Each structure stands twice: as C-alpha cells, then as structure tokens.
Structure 1
Amino acid sequence: MALQRLPLAIHTNVAELLDQLRAAGVAEFGGGASFLRRERKGRFYWYVRTRQVEGQRPERYLGPETQELLETIQQAQSAKGAADGRRMLVRALRAAGLHAPDDRTGRILSALAQAGAFRLRAAVVGTVAFQTYGAALGFVLPSQAVRTGDLDIAQDYGVSVAIDDGLDRSFLDVLRAADPAFTPVPKLDPGKSAAYRTPDGYAVDVLTTSRNAGDEETSRLEALKTDATPLRFMDFLLRDTVEAAVLHGDGVLVRVPAPARYAVHKLIVSRKRGQANPKRRKDVEQAQALIEALSLDDPFALREAYAEARDRGEVWRKLLDQAVTLLPADTRAALEG
C-alpha cells in the first residue's frame, strides 16, 4: 500500500500538541500542588501532592523520572490554560487527514484520561490505538484499517499490583460519566466483569497480561478498579508503551503500545483468530501499514521487536512465519531485514 507522508509542519504540530497535553495534564492538579521525588530500588519516581481536601493532601503517581517528565513538570508549574489553542491544533490535524475517533469513543477516552487511567499506565490497544499512529509516525494511514465499534483498554497486571495509586472511583463509574448507559457484562465467576456494553452494542473491554497457563477467567486490576481478561502475548504488546494524542476536543493524552510492537503483535494475533473473523484481515492490514511506515523512519525498532518476538519460542515463530507469508514481498523484506 502507498502511504502518504504528512508535511513537516503537520508533524511539528503533533509534537506541539503532545507537549501541551503533557503540561496541561500535570497542571490540572492545581496551583496548590507540589511535586515529590522518591527513590525506590535505585530508581527515581515522581508524585504530585494536590491541594488539601477534607484535611488531606492526596498524592498521585506521575511516573519514573525521565528528562521529558522533568521538562513537563517545569512547564506545568508555570502553565496557563491553553485549551482553545489545543482545540485549534486538533482541528488543523484532523483537516490534514489524520484520523480521529467517533464522538462517543472520544468522550470515553477523555473521561478515562481525566480520571487518571493513562497516568496509571493503562493503555489503549486495538484499532483506536492504531488511529493515533499516523500522527506519531507522520503518515496518513489507510482509512479502511481504522474503523471500529469498540474500545480496548489494557494494563499490565504487575504494574497494577505494584503501583501505589488508583482511580478515585470504579472503572464502570468513569465510563458512565461519558455514557450513563454502560452496564457490566457478567463473567461465569459471580460478581466479576471485564467488559462493559451499552444497549446499542458499543463495547469497552478491559485486558491484562497472562501470568501463567492456568490463568483464571479474570484478573483484578486494583489500580483501575475493574476486572480484566488475561490474554497471552499481551505482555509483549504492553512493554514500553508510549504517549499519544487522540484528536478529540482539545486533545486527549493517552498511552498506546509502541508502533513496532503493535505491528508484530497484530501479525501474531491474526493467526489466532478464526478464518471467518473479519478482524483477521484488518490485523494484517494494520501490521502492513505500520511496517511500511516504520521501515522508512525507524527500521531498527521494527526489526528489534520482530526479533524479540521470534526469540520467545516456537509457538511465536510459527505464528509469525504463517503471518508474514500474507505480506507483500517488499513489506516482508523490510520486516526481516
């Protein structure tokens, strides 16, 4: 497939939007917030202590110390409200051909972001994540590969257990802030649910990493206050997630899988779906688009992710070998080096 490269000015606007969203996200804690640096096992982590509420000053986790986070904190300490400017950037990026979610998905992502889900290292996975990669990589991605009617949210089980922070209310209550019609879909295990639906069929599924071959039907994600369905291969997808801007409203800052990992993961899961499943073809289309974009600008990340997946065992290699036969010869060559 022929990918259209975005003008440099548009790609620059994407970077500017991301910078503004990061600063705005931290600034939302308010002028009375203070930032705290803590050491744990030789690494430094940052927290924000918000303004006093009912005699307490809650602390919120921001993430491991990076130069980017330090710059974001510095910007946030002096940032003013710039929502109108971000809204203009979002409109310009959408007009340039970058993909945006439907309004309901945008509202749900905004509610999750405001509640802190992505700060807590939850990630958008699936087609809604794919929609963000055009902006990140500087290409207009094929429109047939971005259509979806659901939303998948995932969090690494180990992260959820280890992180000393969580949502202020249940995951379901956060969803209902965006659409009151959401109801939990019950699992066989009484009282548990890892999926939420509206009467017209819109679905939000919560996923997590598989810990062993004998996983229960659900795992509890304490940080997100919901159950989740454990899936194999999810640990590969969720390693080293990245920030992305969703083009809704004045922008929504989310986390998504690294594009190279997403591409390789899609090749793997395409072989796990049934022959009649329409998502099988879309998996390959998304993988092909990302492979072709990454081969031009970041071939090393692409080949590193592919090599890592192949090194994970015979089952992984077999699934990848089957999937790559469906790719055009030049795309396959870019992947295999």
Structure 2
Amino acid sequence: MSPFPLYEQHEQAYCSQFANVEQAASTQDRVLMGAPGTIIEHRRGGAVYYARQYMGPEGRRQEESLGGPQGDPEVDARVEQVRRRIELGKDLIGRIRDLSKLGFQLADNKTYATVGVLYNYGLFEAGAVLVGSHAYAVILNSLGIRAVSYETEDIDIARRHQLALANPPQGGLLAMLKETGINFVPVPALKRGEPSTSYTEAGKSRFHVDLLVPSRDDTFPTVPVAELNAHATGLPYLAYLLGKAQTGTLISRHGAVPVRVPESARFAIHKLLVSRLRTNTLVKSQKDVRQASVLLAMLGEHRTGDIEDACAELPRSARALVRRTLPEVEALMRDAHEAGLAELESGLAG
C-alpha cells in the first residue's frame, strides 16, 4: 500500500492568481495563433501597411498581414483590435510564467494553437469537449493541485450532440486546424477505404488530433460529423463522460484559452473504465488508473459526495469493469487517501 500522497495543494494565493488568469482569458474575443508578437509597418510607395510578426507554434518566425493603407478607418480599427489582443496576451504570458514555476500544468505551443483555433470557431461554446491528458492537466489546475504530469502528443476532441457552429470554414475541421500554421493532414484509416478520424502534422511528428463521439454500443464505429465536414471514432461509454462538463482554461507559454472539459469525478471514473477497455496498452492503462486516483484522492478529501454522484450515474453495464480496477486504485490510495477510496468503494457497491 502506498503511504505517499498522490497530490499536493497549491497555496490559496497561487490559486487566486490562476483564477485571475482564467478571468482575463475569458474576455478574449479571439486567441492569437503563436506568441503575441508585435505589429510592424511595411512601406509600399508612399503608403504604410501593417502586419503582426510573431513566433509560430513550431518555433518559426511568421507574419500575418493586417492590411492597409494607414489611415483607412477599417484597417486602423483592425490594427487597434489586434494591438489590444497582443497586450492582453503578453499580460497573460507574464502571469503564466509565474504559475509554471509553481507547478501548474502547461500545454505545449502546438496544443495551445490547435485548441485556440477551435475556440476561435466557437466549438467549445457549441458543446465540444476537450478530453484525454490535456483535459486532465486543465482539471488539475482548476482544482488547485499539483501532481505528476504526463507528456502527450494527442489532442482528443469529443462532441455528444451536433454542434451549432455559426461560421465553419468550407474545408471543415481540417481547414480550421491548418489555420494554426501547422501542416495537418488526415491520418489514413486502418481499414482501406474508410474515412479518417484523425489528423496529424505532416512528416515524422507524432502530434495529432482525434475526433471522438459516443458509440451506441460496445463497438468503435466511424461516425460522420457533418457540421465539421469530418468523421469521428465512436467510443463506448463516452456519453457518460460527456454527460456533465465544466469550463476550464488551458495555459501555455503562448497564452491561455478557455475550454470545456468533463466534470472532475466523471473524468476520474471514466479513466478507470477506459483502463479496462484497453486490452493491449498496459502503460496507458496504468496511466489512466493513476490519473483517476489523483482526482479521486482530492475529491474524497475536499468535495465529499462528488464521487458517489458520479458512480450513481455510471451505466450498470460499466460497473463491473470499474470494480476490476479497485485493487490497483487501492494500491495507490490506501493509507494516504482513505476518504476517496472509501467513497469510491461505497459508490460502486450501490
């Protein structure tokens, strides 16, 4: 049995600092791709044209044209709007730099740009949910705790119902992703002739985005997502995970972006469930159980009732699978986190 705590709480002052970052991030009408950068001027003949020069998510200097000439009311308004976004972005980065030193979870720059472009198109407001290890990092920060982080090159985006998007691009999800400046391409499906449900950065990079939807049974079908002009992989029990969601904020060295993530207790229970659905990836299964145990430990000690509520809404067909994880969970939580373990056992016994 492990006598060592799975997490540490951040001091209240640091949690307040993070809350201020979240509040400021929520005021953004649009997230800038890459670092905030600066506005520069180009002279063409006797006229002045504007551009934003910045460091892109892949670490290369880039330029975004803002138009011209200087003096055109529409152009000047656009430049001023971008200038305000740059100022807010730089302010956020200064605060995030301090938080990173304190152990708050930071996403890499590619992830920030990718999630940011989805925010710009209103996916999270429309109901899309960030899941997977990046959601885990967002939840840790929201709960005000520090724990072992897991590096990942996967971005998992899920949706339960059709998203009511105001202005999606003609090219759908792939066109959105390309606006990051990252050269995304579809990943060929395992079965010849089936559409792709995943997008990866061209070349040797393993960075990729997966689109997920609930499966109606225990299979993993390929499902069309018409509003994104894309296809998704259906996952068993994903509807349970997406049944309750909460707002959160993903932070990185390039800025902060509001997102939607699963409710914390459901995320933990679903992680245990997924660990039993993985049949050939022991390392990932162990990671799932540990992430779940961290959240269960915190919730049992500081949010009594959340775990039992999440267990009560777990489909009965999934209960046996989650119970199989109890020996592993107990090995991590016994002695150090009795409250969370007891509430989990009680919730699964009902």
Shorter-chain TM-score tier: 0.7 to 0.9
Gaps of 5+ in 2: 33-83
The separation in 2 between residues aligned to 1:247 and 1:180, in whole angstroms, is 19
Matched, 1:119 2:128: no
Letter of the structure 2 residue corresponding to residue 8 of structure 1: Q
CA apart distance, 1:336:
2.9
The answer for the alignment partner of 2:146 in structure 1 is 140
Letter of the structure 1 residue corresponding to residue 295 of structure 2: L
Distance 1:179 1:279, change over 3 A: farther
Q: Could you tell me the percent identity over the aligned residues?
A: 26
CA apart distance, 1:190:
3.9
Distance 1:26 1:99, change over 3 A: closer
**Is the Cα–Cα contact under 8 Å of residues 219 and 228 in structure 1 kept in the other structure?**
yes
**Is the Cα–Cα contact under 8 Å of residues 271 and 280 in structure 1 kept in the other structure?**
yes
Matches within 5 A, 1:1-337: 1-2=4-5, 3-25=7-29, 82-143=88-149, 146-156=150-160, 158-160=161-163, 163=164, 165=166, 167-169=168-170, 170-187=172-189, 188=191, 190=193, 192-198=195-201, 199-200=203-204, 201-212=206-217, 217-248=221-252, 249-274=254-279, 276-309=281-314, 312-313=315-316, 315-328=317-330, 329=334, 330=338, 331-337=340-346
Gaps of 5+ in 1: 29-78
Deviations 1:1-29, CA, capped at 9 Å, x for gaps: 4211101111112222222222223899x
Q: Which has the higher contact order (CA 8 A, sep 6+)?
A: 2
The separation in 2 between residues aligned to 1:93 and 1:307, in whole angstroms, is 36
Distance 1:219 1:320, change over 3 A: same
The separation in 2 between residues aligned to 1:126 and 1:166, in whole angstroms, is 27
Distance 1:20 1:299, change over 3 A: same
CA apart distance, 1:131:
0.9
The separation in 2 between residues aligned to 1:89 and 1:175, in whole angstroms, is 27
**Is the Cα–Cα contact under 8 Å of residues 182 and 197 in structure 1 kept in the other structure?**
yes
Deviations 1:288-333, CA, capped at 9 Å, x for gaps: 0000111122121222002221xx22x3111011012211232421
For 1:235, what is the secondary structure of its paired residue? helix
**Is the Cα–Cα contact under 8 Å of residues 169 and 176 in structure 2 kept in the other structure?**
no
**Is the Cα–Cα contact under 8 Å of residues 260 and 302 in structure 1 kept in the other structure?**
yes
User: How high is the TM-score relative to the length of structure 1?
Assistant: 0.75
Deviations 1:42-64, CA, capped at 9 Å, x for gaps: xxxxxxxxxxxxxxxxxxxxxxx
**Is the Cα–Cα contact under 8 Å of residues 125 and 257 in structure 1 kept in the other structure?**
yes
The answer for the alignment partner of 1:36 in structure 2 is none
The separation in 2 between residues aligned to 1:220 and 1:255, in whole angstroms, is 22
Deviations 1:188-210, CA, capped at 9 Å, x for gaps: 47472211122222221110012
Deviations 1:58-99, CA, capped at 9 Å, x for gaps: xxxxxxxxxxxxxxxxxxxxx996333322222222121111
**Is the Cα–Cα contact under 8 Å of residues 31 and 117 in structure 2 kept in the other structure?**
no
User: How high is the TM-score relative to the length of structure 2?
Assistant: 0.73
For 2:96, what is the secondary structure of its paired residue? helix
The separation in 1 between residues aligned to 2:181 and 2:157, in whole angstroms, is 16
Letter of the structure 1 residue corresponding to residue 27 of structure 2: A
Which one has a bigger Cα radius of gyration?
A: 2
Distance 1:125 1:305, change over 3 A: same
Letter of the structure 2 residue corresponding to residue 175 of structure 1: L
Q: CA RMSD in A?
A: 2.4
Distance 1:189 1:238, change over 3 A: farther
The separation in 2 between residues aligned to 1:150 and 1:235, in whole angstroms, is 20
